[in-house]
Structure 1
Amino acid sequence: MTRGKKTDGLMRHLRDNKQMDINGSRQKKELLQMGYYHGYKGYRFIKDKSDPIPLTKFDELKAIYDFDMNLKSLLYPHIMTIETAVKNYTIDTLVPHGSIELDYAFKHFLLDYKSEPVGSKDYNTKMKDRLTLKKKIDNEISYKYAKNDIVTHFLRSDTMPLWAIFEIIDMSTFGNFLKCLNQPLRIENADNLGLTHTAVLNDGNLVHDIIFLLKPLRNAVAHNNVVFDCRFAGKTRARNSVKSYVNVETGVQQIQFKYLIDYFILIVLLLKKLGYNKTELKKIIRLFQDETELLRTKIPTSLWNRINGSDLNVKITDLTTYAQT
């Protein structure tokens, strides 16, 4: 039987086996608050356990933990706003084209597979995407029936509007919905959101590419997982079209989505498109910058650069200029 350690034992373990300076009642309470397994073990490396952070002071680890928690608190409401708004803009795009009931959408809107030769590889891939989307939505409706008042009400009325579907599906499924729309509707939706630029090809894919890119961050923030080092991205890679668009639209260089600042830049861009004013954007940017500067005072500069990128302040300056134009 495996026996755990009380907090005093964990502190001795950190001192004796991890060469970490941790002592006293204050740090004991801080370790209890952050947790040894969720806290210390989750923040002792960057992206992967094979890249440990060479920390010898508990206060430095606590600073990274606080930085991570504060960024999640900052980002959460804005990511939720973006998710909700993009869903509403999509409804707004589709309304002029007919009914917004689910069955009508599958018959008239979600037809991207028809843009490919019947039986071709691309046709089969897009058809499978459409079938998978339908299965996921049907499964969600089945699961939520009699548990969710909205679903129950509309099923008993023998209809299911898209806005009700958007209330119950996750961000990934919503991204797949956007992906399955026929191209003219995808392009119209991007235009409706203001996500087009004459210098970037508008093939209608930008909106769902952004949704898929933000999905892991959204989930990490919502479920209180680590975000400071972008480990949430996993195998998700930003498409070149998204990188190019963010660069051209904001004027910020070196957008690679390797550091959290690039995700933050995308979020600010989207908030501006959704109507946030200059004062609101300036406040959000300042809060992000304040957190990064506070962390700078508490950990070695070399580690700060590994976490944030050596060009963070340049990006913040360019982002502020964009937000104020």
Structure 2
Amino acid sequence: MKPKSINSLMAYMRDEKKINIYGSFQKRQLRNMGYYHGYKGYRYCGSPNQILLYTDFKQIKAVYDFDMKIKSIFYPQIMFLETTIKNYSLEIILNEVNSDRFVDVYTKLMNNYKSYPFNSKKYKIAITKKMSMRNKIYGNIARDYGKNNIIKHYYDKDKPVPIWAIFEILSLGEFGNFFSCLNKTVRIKISKSVGIKSSVDSNGEMIENIVFALKDLRNAIAHNNTIFDTRFKSNKINGVISKYISMETGIKNINFQNITDYLILISFVMKLLKCNRTDIIALINQFNNECEDLRKQIPMNIFSKIVYTDTKGKLRDLKNFL
């Protein structure tokens, strides 16, 4: 099928989808956001069978702008959390193993497989995960040689790349897998250092769960994918996170089906890390302001599918907790 021109696409939106779009200004806006990335990406909420009934291109543009703005609000905070959680973990790891060599960390600390009966299914999965993590790390080192001055420096000096440098080249998801390979004692110590109560994290898996909850959001933002409807989730979020946050904050119905719950998670972890309360409140206010701006620009039947009716109550409870 022959590709449609931008004028033909606008005509299609008008004639077939009954969306009001005219003029050179809106044509430029459509070009900038992209018909396929923009209109196609923002015409539904959650899943492709939940079509948003737009009647005007301005409404699509408002949702697109909302999505872009909350990405810009969240991204610095997620990068901060990624770096900080890695740093807290690194501090405990270096103290435990008394070495910065990855081979020592691998041998002495990445032995979670021992917590399962020998040769059991879980034992085999855990030890395979450990070996896969080793291969991933060495693959990353090979990938970044020539691109990363730190990696190049150690290899050119014929020295092992230290664990702190390896952390710099691990993605958030890779770090989550690395963390899961650590033995329970080390995981619990890291969890405690971050500020998580031992009574709710007796197996030391809460950090891992939080990392994987944030990982998909972080990747979606980094690759400029749509986030307003949480379609970026690759897996179900572990329910222990929701229960823990609800218990601490009093906020109900945290299920990560809407983007507000990710704001709550980010704010909660920032609180654990003793971030400035004023900064967290500012983050919440920025998000709330963008929600209010969106409400003024689109019909309520569309707005209520994007920003749930319990959002104001959740944000109020979150502020009260802080």
Which TM class, normalised by the smaller chain length? Answer: over 0.9
Counterpart in the other structure of 2:126:
126
> Secondary structure of 2:42's partner?
coil
- With normalisation by structure 1, the TM-score equals 0.95
Contact 1:91 1:100 (C-alpha < 8 Å) held by counterparts: no
C-alpha separation in 1, matches of 2:197 and 2:178? 20
C-alpha separation in 2, matches of 1:153 and 1:74? 35
C-alpha separation in 2, matches of 1:103 and 1:288? 44
Counterpart in the other structure of 1:218:
218
C-alpha separation in 2, matches of 1:312 and 1:17? 34
Counterpart in the other structure of 1:183:
184
User: Which one-letter code corresponds to 2:29 in the other structure?
Assistant: E
User: Which one-letter code corresponds to 1:165 in the other structure?
Assistant: I
Counterpart in the other structure of 2:107:
107
Contact 1:197 1:249 (C-alpha < 8 Å) held by counterparts: no
C-alpha separation in 2, matches of 1:301 and 1:19? 18
Counterpart in the other structure of 1:52:
51
Unaligned runs of at least 5 residues, structure 1: none
Does 292-301 or 24-33 show the bigger shift?
Answer: 24-33
Superposed counterparts of 1:275-294, under 5 Å: 275-294=274-293
C-alpha separation in 2, matches of 1:7 and 1:307? 28
Does 152-161 or 261-270 show the bigger shift?
Answer: 152-161
Counterpart in the other structure of 1:229:
229
Contact 1:171 1:215 (C-alpha < 8 Å) held by counterparts: yes
Does 244-253 or 70-79 show the bigger shift?
Answer: 244-253
Question: How far does residue 171 in structure 1 lie from its aligned partner after superposition?
Answer: 1.1
Superposed counterparts of 1:188-267, under 5 Å: 188-196=189-197, 198=199, 200-234=200-234, 236-267=235-266
Deviation string, structure 1 residues 257-309 (Cα, Å, up to 9, x no partner): 11010011000111122232121111111000000111111122232221122
Contact 2:192 2:198 (C-alpha < 8 Å) held by counterparts: no
Deviation string, structure 1 residues 116-170 (Cα, Å, up to 9, x no partner): 1210111111111111111111111111122321111122342121110011111
Counterpart in the other structure of 2:154:
154
Question: How far does residue 182 in structure 1 lie from its aligned partner after superposition?
Answer: 0.3
How many positions carry a matched residue from both structures? 320
C-alpha separation in 1, matches of 2:267 and 2:167? 23
C-alpha separation in 2, matches of 1:167 and 1:201? 27
Deviation string, structure 1 residues 5-51 (Cα, Å, up to 9, x no partner): 33222211110111111112322221122111111111001122122
Does 147-156 or 304-313 show the bigger shift?
Answer: 147-156
Deviation string, structure 1 residues 170-197 (Cα, Å, up to 9, x no partner): 1111001110000010000000000226
Counterpart in the other structure of 2:297:
298
Contact 1:187 1:203 (C-alpha < 8 Å) held by counterparts: yes
Question: How far does residue 204 in structure 1 lie from its aligned partner after superposition?
Answer: 0.1
Unaligned runs of at least 5 residues, structure 2: none
Counterpart in the other structure of 1:11:
10
Counterpart in the other structure of 1:39:
38
Counterpart in the other structure of 2:94:
95
Contact 2:88 2:190 (C-alpha < 8 Å) held by counterparts: yes
C-alpha separation in 1, matches of 2:128 and 2:26? 53
Contact 1:259 1:309 (C-alpha < 8 Å) held by counterparts: yes
- After TM superposition, which residue ranges in structure 1, 4 or more long, deviate above 4 angstroms? none
Contact 2:188 2:198 (C-alpha < 8 Å) held by counterparts: no
Q: Does 1:271 align with 2:261?
A: no
C-alpha separation in 2, matches of 1:197 and 1:116? 21
- With normalisation by structure 2, the TM-score equals 0.96
Does 65-74 or 130-139 show the bigger shift?
Answer: 130-139
Contact 1:78 1:267 (C-alpha < 8 Å) held by counterparts: yes
Question: How far does residue 201 in structure 1 lie from its aligned partner after superposition?
Answer: 4.1
Counterpart in the other structure of 1:170:
171
Amino-acid identity (%): 38
Question: How far does residue 56 in structure 1 lie from its aligned partner after superposition?
Answer: 1.4
Question: How far does residue 254 in structure 1 lie from its aligned partner after superposition?
Answer: 0.8
> Secondary structure of 2:82's partner?
helix
